[in-house]
Structure 1
Amino acid sequence: MRRRELIKGLALLPIAESVFGTKPVSNVPLSGNGPLESLSSSGSLRQPAFVMDGHIHVMSRQLIEGLDIGQRYSDGLVDLPRMKEGKINAMFFSVYTPEPYYPGHFEVKNTFRVVELALDQIQKNNTTIELARNASEIVEINSRGKMAAFLDLEGGFDMEGDLLLLRALYRLGLRSVQLTAHNRTNSFIDACSDKRLWDGINDKGRKIIEEMNRLGMVINVAHASSQAIIQAANTSSHPIAYTHGGFRGIVDIKRNISDEAAKEIAAKGGVIGLQFGSYFNDPKYYKWENSRPQSDTRAVAPDKPFLTIEDADQEVAKRLPYVYRGVIPEDHKMGVDQLAKVVDYGIRLVGEDHIAFGSDFDGGVALPKEMKDASDYPEMYKALKAQGYSQSRIDKVMGLNWLRLIRTVTEGK
């Protein structure tokens, strides 16, 4: 075993003890992916050594409603108390610039607002959470019993793709950027649910990918067209992330990833994060939901631009918090066992090193029936355990795959 791999593995050992209150056995064999096959004193498989989510919505409510993420809310799915109860060690702390800001070209201003607010709220709650800009910082923050926030942008940082704005966001601590403008095609990449202008990505898109590689930023291709995902994977010199979605082989919708695109991501060492929503992962639920009138137009931009950013704020405020508001018949509720089957589909397709979770908490998803909010994250560990997976595989899916990808992109290791 190489010395660097041993050090990486040892660095993860404090995580389980500081967050879960469980101490890994000292004589557990280690590999480059951290502690594997660790057993409790009773001989049963332990809880995951490290839990990281690839997509948790934050700052929309805090910006519009003036809330503090350190508070426990009576609604929604996410706040720091509930994330702590869910035993989440780290997350893609995903700030969001949705469609209402695009027609008036307010996306740049909103993005800087939510990034600044995220930094401010992380600082206000620094006894619980800290900003992490690379994998080593994630591990170090966890070793002190705190959650790590890896800042990620969902939505357009600039519809024109100005590299100077991208660099400024990097200086602020942003380390992951979704290339599409959420569900909208922008000036350099096609979105999965919008018009196709570029047959994937264009030369500007390739320059943005090259710059993100140079800076050490995670390239997030969630919401991109299948062709764009494949081209991004081939263009990038680093592994890329599909932070949240499902598989078209399970539910055949454009928003889910094709087998071909998933294989391209995996071939470059990337990671595919599975969203917790029933619509993406349960064919029975999808069929039922798709037969009903759809009232949530959160992803639809107005035909005419709002005159001010405050007008756009008012439109966004109408839909907060972003939670599923329907009533699901009992026999149509998805269980975590179905989500575990989707994990298994992904592992069979691309291998256990390339599958993880991106819950999309507070992203409007209809959660599995065993989960009410972020505090129920351990239900996914139970589901994987019930699937019969080894502790090594569970550890990878629950978080170590994300950590490996971040380490490669941000530290070149």
Structure 2
Amino acid sequence: MLTRRRFLRYAAVAPVALSPAVWSASPSVPQISARAMTIHKRALIFDGHVHALDREFYHGGSMGTQTTVGQWDLPRAREGGVGAFFLSVFTPEEYYPARFETKQALRRIDHALRQLEMNRDHVELALNSADIQRIRAKGKMAAVLDLEGSYDLDGDLGVLRELYALGLRSAQLSAHNWNQNYADACCSPPKSNGLNDHGRDVIREMNRLGMVINVSHSSDETISQAIDVSDVPVVATHHGLRTVNNIPRNMPDILLKKLAAKGGIFGFQIGSEFAYPKEYDWLTAQRKKTFWDTASIPDRVKGKTIYEVDELVAPQFPMLGAQVPESVMMKVDDWVAVVDKAIELVGEDHVAIGTDFDGGPTLARGMRDVRDLPMITDAMLRRGYSEERIDKFWGGNLLRVFGQVTHASKTIAS
């Protein structure tokens, strides 16, 4: 059996071979208009969801080293204009059955903090909006820790407070795609019909601490009830529109309107699975299952140690977009058209970006990785977006709400 240290040493020198079927072809460098590049470089690009460290946790290495693996690292993010990002502290379902999820969250936060220290000349941890502005003034990127898969909070607000003390400033209410004992997820049979009393206590404590309430992966009932209970706006960091692709992971218009009416922000996941039904249907047919199907997990992890679970899940990281034929491939303009639908519905003050890079999105035609975010700015100009609207989408809206939430925190009792 591999220990944690031996596993990382092994993985660093012998990275897992990924099936060619999951690799997208490497397109050439896209041509971007001079005006789009000028606007993009000036804007604050604040990405609401990035799997920035999954690869490094399981396979070793530094986020500061540019690679050809995956979609994101610090050098490529800088080239793509990124100024701030929500760094996903991802705890997959495989850790849940044996109740390893709290330990895994602590390991991931420890790893994130060590990676940030290792790359302190280029990136710093941000705890509030003032931190983001201060870090950006120094020419660095700002990282906000966001827990993805909050099975960890089950039954104990003390865990939430300890994670906050370590630097966590955002957390998904639901577990990844499973229900737990306080908030139903999008893709499991309902257990609490949204939130139970403890789930409401979690929201109130997050309000008190000054933490972003992230409703991505939550069920419709959970999202609706969270908006009602929270004293501050809530955020869907990486989502899609159900009117575009009718899957439970996407949000219906009625909830988008409700989220926006209370000042919330809707972050668009960059991939085709949420935003382009033609490509989603093709991918689902190839896989012969939906991307949120977790039914086999309990049997696969039964009796395993946490280190054996590490070995089991390591091959999936980084989670890459699938290779698809051009005949079904989404274009960047197709993706921006989905953003248009939300703006028509709730206005330009409630939209943002939450790419989900290295979390599995199949990128648009011609897009290699985070370096090609300016393609979106160019597409927005082609659709007649003003510079003000582009600035709001790329970071202004998310920064505003992040400031509201973190500044609304009440004094924490010692």
* Deviation digits for residues 64-100 of structure 1 (CA, Å, limit 9, x no counterpart): 1122111112211111111111110000111200010
* Deviation digits for residues 26-64 of structure 1 (CA, Å, limit 9, x no counterpart): xxxxxxxxxxxxxxx999973352111110012222221
Is the 1:111–1:157 contact (alpha carbons within 8 Å) kept by the matching residues of 2? no
- Counterpart residue number, 2:324: 328
- Counterpart residue number, 2:304: 307
List gaps (5 residues or longer) in structure 2.
1-33, 410-414
Structure 1 residue 352, shift from structure 2 partner: 0.7
Instruction: Please tell me whether residue 56 in structure 1 is matched to residue 53 in structure 2.
Output: no
- Counterpart residue number, 1:229: 223
Instruction: Please tell me whether residue 91 in structure 1 is matched to residue 88 in structure 2.
Output: no
Structure 2 CA distance for partners of 1:393 and 1:234, relative to 1, 3 Å: same
Structure 2 CA distance for partners of 1:347 and 1:59, relative to 1, 3 Å: same
- Counterpart residue number, 1:33: none
Alignment of 1:236-275 (within 5 A): 236-275=230-269
Structure 1 residue 360, shift from structure 2 partner: 0.4
Secondary structure of 2:188's counterpart equals: coil
Structure 1 residue 302, shift from structure 2 partner: 2.4
Structure 1 residue 371, shift from structure 2 partner: 1.2
- Counterpart residue number, 1:80: 74
- Counterpart residue number, 1:30: none
Alignment of 1:116-195 (within 5 A): 116-156=110-150, 158=152, 160-195=154-189
Structure 1 residue 332, shift from structure 2 partner: 1.0
Secondary structure of 2:48's counterpart equals: strand
- Counterpart residue number, 1:284: 278
Alignment of 1:318-397 (within 5 A): 318-324=315-321, 326-397=322-393
Structure 1 residue 290, shift from structure 2 partner: 2.8
- Counterpart residue number, 2:3: none
Is the 1:150–1:175 contact (alpha carbons within 8 Å) kept by the matching residues of 2? yes
Take 1:299 and 1:376, find their aligned partners in 2: how far apart are those partners?
30
Alignment of 1:8-87 (within 5 A): 46-47=39-40, 48-87=42-81
Is the 1:58–1:96 contact (alpha carbons within 8 Å) kept by the matching residues of 2? no
Across the aligned residues of Structure 1 and Structure 2, the Cα RMSD in angstroms comes to: 2.0
Structure 2 CA distance for partners of 1:43 and 1:187, relative to 1, 3 Å: closer
Is the 2:43–2:391 contact (alpha carbons within 8 Å) kept by the matching residues of 1? yes
Identity fraction in percent? 45
Higher helix share: 2
Matched AA of 1:387 = R
1:403 maps to which of 399, 404, 408:
399
List gaps (5 residues or longer) in structure 1.
1-40
Structure 2 CA distance for partners of 1:288 and 1:131, relative to 1, 3 Å: same
Matched AA of 2:345 = L
When structure 1 is superposed on structure 2, of 296-305 and 164-173 the one drifting more is 296-305
Take 2:289 and 2:173, find their aligned partners in 1: how far apart are those partners?
27
Is the 2:207–2:408 contact (alpha carbons within 8 Å) kept by the matching residues of 1? no
* Deviation digits for residues 141-199 of structure 1 (CA, Å, limit 9, x no counterpart): 00111000011111125162411010001011100001111011111001110120011
Take 1:99 and 1:144, find their aligned partners in 2: how far apart are those partners?
38
Structure 1 residue 348, shift from structure 2 partner: 0.9
Structure 2 CA distance for partners of 1:412 and 1:156, relative to 1, 3 Å: closer
Q: Give TM-score scaled by structure 2 length.
A: 0.86
Take 1:192 and 1:177, find their aligned partners in 2: how far apart are those partners?
16
Take 2:64 and 2:269, find their aligned partners in 1: how far apart are those partners?
24
Structure of greater relative contact order (alpha carbons < 8 Å, 6+ residues apart)? 2
Aligned length: 372
Take 1:161 and 1:58, find their aligned partners in 2: how far apart are those partners?
29
Take 1:265 and 1:276, find their aligned partners in 2: how far apart are those partners?
20
Q: Give TM-score scaled by structure 1 length.
A: 0.86
Is the 1:59–1:96 contact (alpha carbons within 8 Å) kept by the matching residues of 2? no
Take 2:345 and 2:260, find their aligned partners in 1: how far apart are those partners?
10
- Counterpart residue number, 2:13: none
Structure 1 residue 294, shift from structure 2 partner: 3.7
Is the 1:70–1:81 contact (alpha carbons within 8 Å) kept by the matching residues of 2? yes
Secondary structure of 1:92's counterpart equals: strand
Secondary structure of 1:347's counterpart equals: helix
- Counterpart residue number, 1:35: none
When structure 1 is superposed on structure 2, of 190-199 and 58-67 the one drifting more is 58-67
- Counterpart residue number, 2:105: 111
Structure 1 residue 306, shift from structure 2 partner: 4.0
When structure 1 is superposed on structure 2, of 57-66 and 115-124 the one drifting more is 57-66
Matched AA of 2:182 = F
Take 1:370 and 1:307, find their aligned partners in 2: how far apart are those partners?
41
Take 2:153 and 2:216, find their aligned partners in 1: how far apart are those partners?
16
Is the 1:262–1:350 contact (alpha carbons within 8 Å) kept by the matching residues of 2? yes
Take 1:205 and 1:136, find their aligned partners in 2: how far apart are those partners?
29
